[in-house]
Structure 1
Amino acid sequence: MDYLGADGSTPGEVNHPAAINAPIGCASCHTSAAHALDSVPFPSGVVVDGLSASATCSVCHQGRQSGDNVTSATEGMGEDTVSSDLAFLNVHYGVAAAVMHGSEVRGGFQYPGKTYAGRFAHVPSANTCVACHDAHSTEVETDGCVACHRGVEDIRDIRTRHLDFDGDGQISGGIHTEIVGLQEQLYAALQTYAAEVADAPIGYATGTFPYFFNDTNADGQISPDEAAFPNRYQNWTPRLLKAAYNYQVSKKDAGAYVHNPAYMLQLLYDSLESLSEQVDLGMSDLRRP
């Protein structure tokens, strides 16, 4: 309400503390200020216009970092030099809007010299948030999906691109499986690079901030005891941070296979390609969209 200016404050900023865990309620969307909202600034500073009913969704589901923040944090540093000035930059969670708009808002870290997919323009009947999600429960309504994508029982089985992006020799599954395949390879690559180049094994804990921790026993897993803030990973190099940031972007939009599969595949592939400059990853079977 404060951000929208619905409480009489200046719109577009939060200028007083809010209660912790204050829920999103009816008034968050059903106010004249929310109905009038059509443009939303993203963490990169890019303002997206013409969002209509998707504007209120995009205010929250855009993350709190962008690839620009990663660029600024690592500027002027040696790519493979551990720096105590670096810490993990967390994109936050529920970043569907940032992923959907792709390169236009630079939600992921976009490697220099690469081109990236922009906003994923679905068919007109499925081109807004509430065209697919129930506005109150956010549950996905799949009837519209299977009306066009016939013959699938699970929307994760849908694919319109038939290249083998993750190099496993299979193209029978949905594009979701290709994203998961590259995601798994990127996590393994992060672990290899951290151990061999940054000289400190790394692991990831899905639900515990700041997500990346020292794998103290080098078993490839992060135990509850290891997933503690004092044990947060601190041996960051710019190359490792960039790839880890993109890994987190992929983890924090479970619907990327619908929101913008090409953009997500590009981020994952390019992160792997960067790490492969220092560790042997075997990129020859992978494909970039």
Structure 2
Amino acid sequence: MAGLTAIFLAGPVLTQTDPGTASGEEEEAIPFALPQSGPFTPAEIEIDNDQAISDWFRSSHANAASDAFSHWDDDGEIRAACATCHSGEGFRDFHGLDGTPAGVVDGPINVGGVVDCGTCHNAGLADITEITFPSGLVHPVTGVEASCLTCHQGRSAGIDVAEATSGLADDEPNSELRFINPHYATAAATWLGGYGAAGYHYDGQDYSGRFFHARPVASCNSCHEPHTLEVEFEPCLTCHLADRPEDIRIARQSYDGSGDTSVGISSDIERNADTLLGMIRDYSDEVVGAPVIYDGTRFPYFFSDANGDGVIDTAEGSPVAYQSWTPRSLRTAFNWKLVTADPGNYAHNPQYSLELLYDSIMDLSAPLGIDMEDLQLLR
């Protein structure tokens, strides 16, 4: 090792005369560890996918400081139940791409990971042919679809709400009921619609299935640039006249009772979602007699306000989770959260989103004494 150190510190090494050199002359040989053109400058090295890496690095998939990837830092490892989608290492573990059994995260999964290149570019993705959704649906996938649909399907479905409330009286609070969270960024669940059965489906109602767009738009990458994750809006202009995706209408009728068809369908969804949340509050206050406050910044989002002063109750310095759920309020709150958890619901499956909101509003209208015709909503 001492000899190697001397090579690096002493500079060029003298070698024996090469047959092509003059007698008595010696040529210099650059140590193999140093570049011939030196000094080494990373910026001068050409990388074929440099732009893709730069785009990914600035995307939310690579933001290691975000709560999506740093939430478990103090724990020292990511919980197995969360690791599949909150770490590339966990994703590969779950699908058996690291040589472990598929279908389970064996762990432990290290903190600090993100949705890395190996999450979407692993050669083993070609062997994944189906993804199971929380509803029990087994959906066929090809290639990188496995990555998108694994992590954007949510973690609960309407069937979980149905099982939790089975046999219980619609309007009687049950202290054993807890809010069932569909989770975040549920684009795939919205996209598959009634076929995917992500929402709570009411008996006797039909629900729109998977949202089939124009023929070129058949996958996540059809609309989203895979590295920046941004929506490529220009192809939309082939058929739609709008300044941004949110302004696309797709319908000639008003679903929110406003009669305004000059705005995008996203407006109808947003207004109906606001109506539903307001009715959930009114129902909890007037029918159940236990006011509720929603705070989207902290789990479990719905909190107690026993005295109705508009301030979340606390106990030992912590907010008190709402514990007066009835089957009716639980299923409507689940559908509301599912729809609003997907900020792209207006593009992924607007009809399914509107159907879930309408049916949930109708569910609450009876105990609140509201005439659905007065709301002038369309399903």
Normalised-by-shorter TM-score class: over 0.9
- In the other structure, the counterpart of 1:123 is 214
How many Å separate the matches in 2 of 1:45 and 1:117? 18
Q: Are 2:302 and 1:174 equivalent residues in the alignment?
A: no
1:1-289 to 2 correspondence within 5 Å?
1-20=92-111, 22-150=113-241, 152-216=242-306, 218=308, 230-284=319-373, 285-289=375-379
How many Å separate the matches in 2 of 1:245 and 1:138? 27
Question: Percent sequence identity over matched residues?
Answer: 38
- In the other structure, the counterpart of 2:85 is none
Larger relative contact order (CA 8 Å, sep ≥ 6): 1
How many Å separate the matches in 2 of 1:105 and 1:219? 40
Instruction: Give the gaps of 5 or more residues in structure 2.
Output: 1-91
SS of 2:337's equivalent in the other structure is helix
Q: CA deviation at 1:214?
A: 1.6
Distance of aligned partners of 1:251 and 1:220 in 2 relative to their CA distance in 1, 3 Å threshold: farther
- In the other structure, the counterpart of 2:15 is none
> Structure 1 residues 166-175 or 228-237, which shifts more?
228-237
Q: CA deviation at 1:48?
A: 0.5
Distance of aligned partners of 1:220 and 1:125 in 2 relative to their CA distance in 1, 3 Å threshold: farther
TM-score (norm 1): 0.93
How many Å separate the matches in 2 of 1:229 and 1:99? 33
Structure 1 residues 248-279: Cα deviation after superposition (integer angstroms, max 9, x where no partner): 10121010000000000000000000001100
Q: CA deviation at 1:220?
A: 5.1
What is the total number of aligned residue pairs between the two structures? 286
Alpha carbons 1:190, 1:240 under 8 Å: kept:
yes
Distance of aligned partners of 1:221 and 1:170 in 2 relative to their CA distance in 1, 3 Å threshold: farther
Alpha carbons 1:189, 1:281 under 8 Å: kept:
no
> Rg bigger for which structure?
2
Q: CA deviation at 1:163?
A: 1.7
Alpha carbons 1:205, 1:222 under 8 Å: kept:
no
> Structure 1 residues 233-242 or 197-206, which shifts more?
197-206
Aligned-pair RMSD on alpha carbons?
A: 1.9
How many Å separate the matches in 2 of 1:22 and 1:165? 43
Q: CA deviation at 1:22?
A: 2.9
How many Å separate the matches in 2 of 1:18 and 1:282? 52
Q: CA deviation at 1:16?
A: 2.4
Alpha carbons 1:29, 1:35 under 8 Å: kept:
no
SS of 1:68's equivalent in the other structure is helix
Counterpart amino acid of residue 259 in structure 1: H
Distance of aligned partners of 1:178 and 1:32 in 2 relative to their CA distance in 1, 3 Å threshold: same
Q: CA deviation at 1:230?
A: 4.2
How many Å separate the matches in 2 of 1:229 and 1:123? 49
Counterpart amino acid of residue 243 in structure 2: E
Structure 1 residues 70-107: Cα deviation after superposition (integer angstroms, max 9, x where no partner): 00000010010100110000011010001100111211
How many Å separate the matches in 2 of 1:275 and 1:51? 41
> Structure 1 residues 255-264 or 23-32, which shifts more?
23-32
TM-score (norm 2): 0.72
How many Å separate the matches in 2 of 1:50 and 1:286? 40
